Structure 1
């Protein structure tokens, strides 16, 4: 059986970077379904680790909003502390160094830091993907409008499970077995 031709619309372990934005201890309690959002971000980080996809994280005003929650902080390592809502200024050098054209975003808040980062990444020429079930806002209407705005400007909406299987591409590999275990985890 021949390998399918590479589809430029798909994320792969070779072309993608995972960005987790501002999943911080003092902000998450005010986000509806924050447990599910953290769970999905953690599964994305686990999948990225399994498949060798680099992951970056950011923290917004750490002094006021606290550190990134566990288990995400341990998986992300050192993160820049930023004051701008967009993460781009804090990570642009690392993005250039890693040279991945596609960026999958998870994080909070959808209508502030996530949206401004996504729009800045688009303007820098990146293909931006958003794991819609791994982002949140304090108010559902803000989140809904942010998702609609980002999608209308060129951000591709996806889900955690879809991204994990897209990264994996095929069944029957050791990595697929590990990804399948992540997908079968019981929701919190």
Structure 2
């Protein structure tokens, strides 16, 4: 198993790697074959040529790998950002300019008060 994976729970893995078509695709496809749910962080992996990345993505998608961005994987793992506004919210405000506006509109909406 390459060091660039995260076991999300007993049936789910998320991968990223140096070379999408090798470091990511090989273990991801192997785990899908074994019955695991596999997520690949597409914007956290590299390659030498765009066409090889696209071919690897197509191959993995056809095998059942879920291709997601770092933001989608983070949201999938978190499920509900309201559970950890300081931690998860900070991740978003640090990496997605203006996201704090959404957080503020939620926090300032009387309908969302406890």
Q: Check whether TM > 0.5.
A: yes
Give the 3-state SS of the residue equivalent to 1:129 in structure 2: strand
- 2:50 aligns with 140
Q: CA RMSD in A?
A: 2.2
- 1:162 aligns with 72
- 2:4 aligns with 20
Aligned pairs for 1:86-165 (under 5 A) are: 100-165=10-75
Cα deviations by residue, 1:93-145 (Å, 9 ceiling, x for unpaired):
xxxxx961010111121111211111111111111111111111111111111
User: Is the alpha carbon distance of 1:186 and 1:164 closer, same or farther for their aligned partners in structure 2, counting shifts above 3 Å?
Assistant: closer
Q: Provide the TM-score with structure 1 as the length reference.
A: 0.45
Larger RCO: Structure 1 or Structure 2 (Cα < 8 Å, ≥ 6 residues apart)? Answer: 1
Report the count of equivalent residues. 94
Distance (Å, rounded) in 2 between the aligned partners of 1:182 and 1:121: 29
Distance (Å, rounded) in 1 between the aligned partners of 2:36 and 2:22: 19
User: 4+ runs of 1 displaced by more than 3 Å?
Assistant: none
1:179 aligns with 2:88: yes
Give the 3-state SS of the residue equivalent to 1:107 in structure 2: coil
Structure 2: runs of 5 or more not aligned = 97-114
Q: Provide the TM-score with structure 2 as the length reference.
A: 0.71
Give the 3-state SS of the residue equivalent to 2:4 in structure 1: strand
Select the structure of larger CA radius of gyration.
Answer: 2
Structure 1: runs of 5 or more not aligned = 1-18, 22-54, 57-97
Which has more helix, going by share of residues? 2
Distance (Å, rounded) in 2 between the aligned partners of 1:145 and 1:184: 33
